Structure 1
Amino acid sequence: MAASSLKRRDSTMTKDLEDQLIITPLGAGNEVGRSCVYMSYKSKTVMFDCGIHPAYSGMAALPYFDEIDPSTIDVLLVTHFHLDHAASLPYFLEKTTFKGRVFMTHATKAIYNLLLSDYVKVSKVSVEDMLFDDQDIKRSMDKIEVIDFHQSGRSEWDPFWCYTAGHVLGAAMFMFSPDICIIESTYGVQLHQPRLVREKRFTDVIHSTISQGGRVLIPAFALGRAQELLLILDEYWSHHPELHNIPIYYASPLAKRCMAVYQTYINAMNDRIRNQFASSNPFDFKHISSLKSIENFDDVGPSVVMASPSGLQSGLSRQLFDKWCSDKKNACVIPGYVVEGHWLRPSSTNPRK
């Protein structure tokens, strides 16, 4: 009787464990970077996002994949194209035992391809530290399935649904169950000023700096927030003829290549942009020029330059920062979140050792 009771109790405990919804952050848990969340329920598993940590390089930048068995994952859903949410996907698809299905929206897939190819090209790491190459990216593209907003997808789980999330072009929310909500909380403990107030602060600082003969550097991500800020600047310049002789430059070949994607998916944007597109292309900037390199830059007076990378750790943004930072007339406007350990320093060593 005792042995029989023990077996029944073990069986009940096993069933209780199978009925539990278990959520494990493999990245972005108490940190910003390498977003990746593993979820299991009744022997079915799903993973949300597959990013890198921008403060590290090589294997140190990956989510903690060694905590799971990739072969058990049924479906992987990527919410948007930013590196901290999608840049370890080629590694995960090509260099682990993962055999499940991968979904993202059409716009996310289009920009993912361009963004990851650029990431490989500009990464300042040794061959041994490279997580993947262009061929890995190409092969990963063949495995990615696309899903539309408000469309349901099928997996080993019940159907899941895809909803627009705002944030950047193509960004999606995925719904499996209303029991729990997993949400990025980078600014979760902060109260932001209203949008119009923040936009005015942004343009006021730039106008004031220019009026005093200074230069403005805006280090920004190549995609997402940059396009939003460029729209604001182009509109502001249009309303201020006294600024028309002050050049605005955007230094990102990647963003220039991606502009065609933004114009293709114009219907995925807000009402203001869609209505404007009916009469003119809002991304055909009237007061903004492309800047390829510092060698092509005629730095002879006040100007505004938006350049990547956002962390000033390398590239044109760092070159201009070093050149301009000693002059008090100049300004550096930081428009986004700064990742700890990433700002004004090269990639760090492996934090796991």
Structure 2
Amino acid sequence: MDDEHALLIDCGLFQGAETSPEGRAGAGRLAIDFSLDGIKALVATHVHIDHVGRIPYLLAAGFKGPILCSEPSAKLLPIVLEDAFRLGFSRDQKQVERYLKLIEQRIVALPYKQWFTLIDTPQLNARIRLQRAGHILGSAYVEVDLHYPETGEKKRIVFSGDLGAPHAPILPAPKAPYKADILVIESTYGDRLHEDRRSRRKRLEKVLEHALSNQGTVLIPAFSIGRTQELLYELEDIIHRRALKESAKGQSSASKPGTSKAATLDWTNLPIILDSPLASRFTAVYRELDHFWDAEARALLAKGRNPLAFRNLLTVDSHQAHLAMVNRLAQTTQPAIVIAGNGMCSSGRIVNYLKAMLGDERHDVLFVGYQAEGTPGRQIQRFGPRNGYVEYDGLRYDIRAQVHTMGGYSAHADQAGLLKFVSGMRNKPGEIRIVHGEPDAKRELARMYRALYAQAGCPLNVVVPG
């Protein structure tokens, strides 16, 4: 902001090949390697670990300022940071409780669309405003207004955080800001387009049909926040519609003398297994904060349906119950859908399912989002269709299960969404800084922005930080 005042946007873990060949979540890059001098506040755009995972280390390094976030994120952030503290610092309950109390004292929950003044001096007036980003519950992009009274200079900087896909379930789509002088924008899918929601739902249904008919299990590695809740929403809707369809067919057949009821897939009793205590906690918060849902999701609630708490949904909490579920599904022929963490298959309960089931062609692995380079998830995604293998703990596991990828279920905006975020502004930025993506995605998005501005005859400075 100036020589004496700075604002920190997010403080997360590195993931994938940017951390290690194994794709572990930044285990060797946790220390805070930048100066805290002048940082007046931390803004958490959302609570995914790659945006907030180093907050415990930030506090340990001596950061004393507030943690600003949206009201839903204020509910979710302590859960995320409790998990991070247990993994990285201590499992001692008293230490955990003291740490959580410190976190809750630092959090300042900001309503969407309201300005919050950070600094008000004769030299600088700085304020921020959070707007819905549509990525996960509580996600926000950040508008920063800077006014220097002595010179009269005014500047607005917008930080996108992670932007959501426009037709994702549960949350409203992000709307472009009115203006920006400088835009700092993510580029995760800057070189790709997603499937539309109807197409991806049909594809998901086909995968499920295969698993049911083949008496196998669909394994879905999913992140605890956002992707899991979207999947539950879509699965509830598929099961609801198929059950209605099968019921109508049954009534029609029964009304015709001499017809026999054909064997049908038993959608009504298909178990959806959520095997992640952390995801279960987040799902409970999603249900609690249903007033932040979009109109479609709230309309389902009004009809008596709950897409995040339905009859087919089973949760697995204890580690013992988890191991029993892995053995049961691997050794029996009961069709099921399992959603388990972590999303990139580098650790967590999904690894036990993969070790037990990858070698059996009855099963399917369904990736519904980004797999960072260097992670086991990327290896399965790349080598599974070639009957390759993946390594865990020094052992090779052959991939005989079918592997599917559905980019449309990503919680990130695709290239079209990232372009629309800029084209939808009334006063467009003269400078765009492209971050948070792989090199090819950054380069392609930069090319598309230059083309967009050239078509309009407007100057643009695109910066792609190294």
TM-score, normalised by the number of residues in structure 1: 0.78
| Contact map agreement 1:72 1:98 (CA 8 A) in 2 | no
Name the CA distance, whole Å, in 2 between partners of 1:266 and 1:91: 32
Distance 1:192 1:152, change over 3 A: same
Name the CA distance, whole Å, in 2 between partners of 1:114 and 1:97: 22
Question: In structure 2, what residue type is equivalent to 1:183?
Answer: I
Deviation (angstroms), 1:113? 1.0
- Which of 146, 167, 170 is the aligned partner of 2:138? 170
Q: Which residue of 2 aligns with 1:85?
A: 51
Q: Which residue of 2 aligns with 1:317?
A: 350
Question: In structure 1, what residue type is equivalent to 2:129?
Answer: W
Deviation (angstroms), 1:86? 0.9
Alignment of 1:194-209 (within 5 A): 194-209=196-211
| Contact map agreement 2:12 2:55 (CA 8 A) in 1 | yes
Q: Which residue of 2 aligns with 1:115?
A: 80
Distance 1:335 1:59, change over 3 A: closer
Gaps of 5+ in 2: 16-22, 120-124, 145-155, 157-179, 244-265, 378-390, 394-466
Q: RMSD value over aligned CA atoms? A: 2.4
Name the CA distance, whole Å, in 2 between partners of 1:44 and 1:77: 14
Name the CA distance, whole Å, in 2 between partners of 1:286 and 1:325: 28
| Contact map agreement 1:120 1:134 (CA 8 A) in 2 | no
Distance 1:273 1:61, change over 3 A: farther
Name the CA distance, whole Å, in 2 between partners of 1:247 and 1:282: 14
Deviation (angstroms), 1:137? 3.9
Deviation (angstroms), 1:236? 0.8
Q: Which residue of 2 aligns with 1:149?
A: 112
Name the CA distance, whole Å, in 2 between partners of 1:145 and 1:50: 16
Count of aligned residue pairs for this structure pair: 299
| Contact map agreement 1:71 1:98 (CA 8 A) in 2 | no
Deviation (angstroms), 1:192? 1.6
Question: In structure 2, what residue type is equivalent to 1:253?
Answer: P
Distance 1:304 1:212, change over 3 A: same
Question: In structure 1, what residue type is equivalent to 2:39?
Answer: I
Question: In structure 1, what residue type is equivalent to 2:230?
Answer: E
Deviation (angstroms), 1:134? 5.5
Alignment of 1:300-311 (within 5 A): 300=332, 301-311=334-344
Structure scoring higher RCO (CA < 8 A, sep ≥ 6) equals 2
Alignment of 1:64-75 (within 5 A): 65-66=32-33, 68-75=34-41
The reply to whether residue 341 of structure 1 matches residue 369 of structure 2 is no
| Contact map agreement 1:308 1:315 (CA 8 A) in 2 | yes
Q: Hey, which bits of structure 1, 4+ residues long, moved more than 6 A? A: none
Which is strand-richer, 1 or 2? Answer: 2
Name the CA distance, whole Å, in 2 between partners of 1:155 and 1:305: 45
- Which of 63, 77, 88 is the aligned partner of 1:98? 63
Report the 3-state secondary structure (helix = DSSP H, G, I; strand = E; otherwise coil) of the residue aligned with 2:211: helix
Distance 1:161 1:340, change over 3 A: same
Gaps of 5+ in 1: 1-39, 348-353
Q: Which residue of 1 aligns with 2:288?
A: 264
Kindly provide the CA deviation profile for residues 127-179 of structure 1, in whole angstroms up to 9, marking residues without a partner as x: 7xxxx966434312211111010111110242211111111001111101121
The reply to whether residue 288 of structure 1 matches residue 254 of structure 2 is no
Distance 1:126 1:173, change over 3 A: closer
- Which of 304, 319, 331 is the aligned partner of 2:364? 331
Deviation (angstroms), 1:219? 0.7
Residue identity over aligned pairs, in percent, reads 28
| Contact map agreement 1:309 1:315 (CA 8 A) in 2 | yes
| Contact map agreement 1:90 1:137 (CA 8 A) in 2 | no
